[in-house]
Structure 1
Amino acid sequence: MKILLWILPVVFLAIILRIVELDKKKSNFVVTADTNISKNSQLSKYVTQQEVENFAFRYWDIDFAEVKKNPKMEEFRQILKTKDTVRILNFMKDNNISVDEPLHKGVTALMYASFYDDESTMKELIKMGADIHKQDNHKISPMAYAMENNSTKAVKLLYENGVKFEEVTMMQTALGVLGWGEYVEFEPYYDENNMPHIKYRTFEEMHYHEKTYMAENFFRTLLRNNQLDILELVLQSGYKPYLYGYYLGGDISKYTNNLAEADKYYIERAYNTKGRRTFADPKIELELMRFYNSLYFPILQSPFPKPKIAVLRKYNVPIDEWNPSKEFLKKLYNRECYGAWRSQFSPRKNGETYYLRIQDRQTKFLYENCLDKNGTFEDIEEYIVFNQQMKILHKITASEERKFGYGNNRVDMNITSDEIKKLQSKYNNNLE
């Protein structure tokens, strides 16, 4: 199923697009991230300015992008990374650099200081009159840069000096960290008792040397990234996050608090008989689309859902205002809990003794939680916690199979031969 902006279109532009023929004379043109379509109207036949800007945004990295053809500003960029306030101010004075003079691509010293969480330098630049609301050529502000790098002191300082969180529409988010699996180390680690433990990557480990980015609503990015300190500050300010989003094309999505507005998009796709569906019933598919496009979705995509849900509840964010139906929650349970148990149930017989062929951690968890065909998830939060626990167990089970060999990763399930026999008879005779 196509899921809003998280399922991105194939990048149609490379760093430099190949030369295209635009007229009968076969004049050649090169399109780069800095191309201004308005200066060559012929190019508009092949690419729009918005597409060029999206491409530039995708590959822009404030931390690694060098200042081209300007050694002075490149040296200044390197000095800004040191966070040495005295040295920074002296360099500006000695080289007659004004406080809002961009180093390149509209990026100012304050933007660099905000990204690097350099509170001392920020305070001095603000005293000198730095524009705290300014945006660079990519339409990224100091606040957006601070959020992107989890620079909590910078976010607080900018807010205290008058920057409103409503000013931040989009921020960069790394394409390599959009799913739960990217937050987890490939292999769990094992303690002295050979017990497995999941290890999660830190924020710095997740984002270091990421080279491809996309624009996303900043609040959803904070949720996905587990940036709880900044989330708390944003919500304390009275900011009201958008509850729903829908996809407009390219890298562009729209966000709204109007469910009726969002439903126009969701309904069109839920009732489209030619599209791929998760559920046969379009009413249930519609609820699934609401869920996938709600604030719950970035929580589902990343670890530690409970603290994030708790902070949203604390500030009365109506994350389930769309009111998921009991039927929808039941369908989720049947698909991912009871249905998963039935898929794992694999009875075997040795003489008169019954046993399960698969007795790993996933099977044990499903046996303990998903035996009731008439069961359901009480709410979306319970489903998210269950879903993530299954992901953890899947990771551990796969690791144990690699470590000990398939079949040697059995756990004690406390299930008797008689119970296995009864369950098999019940399922075979459809007595559920």
Structure 2
Amino acid sequence: MKFTKLSKPNQITFKTFFLTTSLFLITLLFTGCDNNKSSYTITQDTNVSKVPGLSKYVTQEEVDSFSFRYWDIDDEREYRDENKTLTTLRHYLKQKDTNKVLNFLKEHNLSVDTKFLHRLTPLMYSSFYNDLNTSKELIKLGANIRAKDRYKLSPLAYAVENNSTLTAKLLLDSGVKFDELTQIQYYLKPPFYRSMKNIIVDGDDITIIYKGKWNTDEHSKDETEPFEYIVVCNFVELARIVLESGYVPKRLEYPETIQGISEGHSRNLDIEFSVFSRLDDIPNHEQMLDLLLKYNVYGGELTKEQLKMAYDRCYKWYYDKCFIDDNMKCDVYKFYEEEFALEYNHKMFRAYCSTKNSTFKDIKEFFRYANEDVKYTNISSFFSASPKSVYIKDKNMTLEELRIHQYKNTKDEKTKKHIETYFLKNYKNINKSTNKE
């Protein structure tokens, strides 16, 4: 029984241009050197049309895109050239000190919409930091609730990207429509099954440590569709606030495959172009699914045919004769990963598709299966690719150490050969080290 199974196709939801841009800049550098031309220094504020010759190598769109993706409102390194007055005010905004903010504006005769770096306003900062009191006072003083900075980001955009629920609700209650948001940064990194960092196996319990824990993405913060971002990050309260405001999610521009549904279709299913298609890769997806169904969000329907097809896939994938025949022994190599795979396959089979001619009764039952299936697929892939990062608690060793230990101590030659062929093929000195012992 194979442990490493087919992984989910590459995600295409968020347009990632970092590699392309880096290669472009390298090309630009070497082109300038090879032709003995003046070098170009490109910054966030570069106007391509005003730099002679630069348009041959880069467009204004590319400069603006790069600037947008690497802008971070909360990174002090962005403010090296900021004057002392604005720095003081910005720090008061970050500290959520309403009195100091209001007094500072008054004492320095500053407008409530005074412009910071890149045309940011005080309300953008207070919205980002989820400072309800300061935001209320700024709005009372006439702050522009729809102001845009040089990146076309508004106070609501900054509130949404940082999951600032209090200020997001305030802005929506003050008259801003969620439809007005055309783009936001993919600012926070949520946990995904496809972004595992470490795994701890403790008997039947599997603890996954993710690379993303809603921490700031220090690299490219790509442009993303606002409500899709909320769902992908599993910001349930923020999603509730947005839907309660009357927002109706629309068909997304980019489709996403869904494990168990997309196979065999023409890739034009409504659910693939909806936020529902993001739910199979999200830990603890249930509350978000319930909320989307409650508001009848676009794409939340599956036909009986689709549910049956998904069920049949589950049955075919996880079925083994030994699971239904008590007299049949499940025959696998006596090796940790093979036994783990057998146990997990049996668990999936019993939990979701143990009856041959049955079906999933509804979309909630389907997503319970699909989410667990994606989780298992990624655990499987992680075991295979990162054994040093998997800790087996009852063995007190990593999966890599356990592989070597079992290889060295097994007396069954077939098992030994299997381990060497499929799990230790990159360990060139394994036989030498074994012989020395």
Q: How does the TM-score come out when normalised to structure 2?
A: 0.71
Percent identity reads: 31
Q: Letter of the aligned partner of 1:37 in structure 2?
A: V
Checking the alignment, whether the CA contact within 8 Å between 2:147 and 2:155 is kept in structure 1 is yes
User: Cα 1:356–1:402, aligned 2, differ >3 Å: closer, same or farther?
Assistant: farther
Does 2:300 align with 1:300?
A: no
The answer for the alignment partner of 2:259 in structure 1 is: none
The one of 46, 71, 78 aligned to 1:35: 46
The one of 36, 51, 55 aligned to 1:44: 55
Q: Give how far 1:143 is off.
A: 0.5
Q: Give how far 1:14 is off.
A: 4.0
Q: Give how far 1:320 is off.
A: 3.3
The answer for the alignment partner of 2:96 in structure 1 is: 83
Of stretches 236-245 and 141-150 in structure 1, the one that deviates more from structure 2 is 236-245
The answer for the alignment partner of 2:419 in structure 1 is: none
Does 2:345 align with 1:363?
A: yes
User: Cα 1:46–1:384, aligned 2, differ >3 Å: closer, same or farther?
Assistant: farther
Deviations 1:342-382 (A, max 9, x none): 5x9799xxxx9734425544122133133445444445443
Checking the alignment, whether the CA contact within 8 Å between 2:199 and 2:209 is kept in structure 1 is no
Q: Distance in 2 between matches of 1:395 and 1:2?
A: 13
Report the count of equivalent residues: 364
The answer for the alignment partner of 2:367 in structure 1 is: 384
Q: Distance in 2 between matches of 1:159 and 1:312?
A: 19
The one of 143, 150, 155 aligned to 1:137: 150
The answer for the alignment partner of 1:60 in structure 2 is: 71
The one of 123, 128, 140 aligned to 1:127: 140
Of stretches 43-52 and 117-126 in structure 1, the one that deviates more from structure 2 is 43-52
Q: Give how far 1:246 is off.
A: 3.0
Deviations 1:98-118 (A, max 9, x none): 221221011111111001011
Q: Per the alignment, in what secondary structure is the counterpart of residue 116 of structure 2?
A: coil
Q: How does the TM-score come out when normalised to structure 1?
A: 0.71
Deviations 1:88-141 (A, max 9, x none): 223333333322122101111111100101111112211222111001111111
Residues 187-206 of structure 1: pairs in structure 2 closer than 5 A: 187-188=199-200, 196=205, 198=207, 205-206=213-214
Checking the alignment, whether the CA contact within 8 Å between 1:346 and 1:356 is kept in structure 2 is no
Q: Per the alignment, in what secondary structure is the counterpart of residue 187 of structure 1?
A: strand
Q: Give how far 1:160 is off.
A: 1.7
The answer for the alignment partner of 1:423 in structure 2 is: none
Q: Give how far 1:199 is off.
A: 6.1
Higher relative contact order (CA 8 A, sep 6+): 2
Q: Give how far 1:396 is off.
A: 7.5
The answer for the alignment partner of 1:74 in structure 2 is: 87
Q: Letter of the aligned partner of 2:252 in structure 1?
A: Y
User: Cα 1:381–1:52, aligned 2, differ >3 Å: closer, same or farther?
Assistant: farther
Unaligned 5+ runs, structure 1 = 248-265, 267-277, 409-432
Deviations 1:243-263 (A, max 9, x none): 23238xxxxxxxxxxxxxxxx
Deviations 1:33-69 (A, max 9, x none): 2222232474333322222221111111111143232
The answer for the alignment partner of 1:274 in structure 2 is: none
Does 2:20 align with 1:12?
A: yes
Checking the alignment, whether the CA contact within 8 Å between 1:3 and 1:292 is kept in structure 2 is no
Does 2:324 align with 1:311?
A: no
User: Cα 1:173–1:337, aligned 2, differ >3 Å: closer, same or farther?
Assistant: farther
Q: Letter of the aligned partner of 2:372 in structure 1?
A: Q
Q: Give how far 1:77 is off.
A: 2.3
Checking the alignment, whether the CA contact within 8 Å between 2:148 and 2:154 is kept in structure 1 is yes
User: Cα 1:16–1:31, aligned 2, differ >3 Å: closer, same or farther?
Assistant: farther
Q: Give how far 1:25 is off.
A: 7.8
Q: Per the alignment, in what secondary structure is the counterpart of residue 144 of structure 2?
A: coil
Q: Distance in 2 between matches of 1:310 and 1:83?
A: 34
Checking the alignment, whether the CA contact within 8 Å between 1:15 and 1:33 is kept in structure 2 is no
Deviations 1:268-294 (A, max 9, x none): xxxxxxxxxx85x5xx1324x654432
The one of 229, 240, 249 aligned to 2:237: 229
User: Cα 1:371–1:79, aligned 2, differ >3 Å: closer, same or farther?
Assistant: same
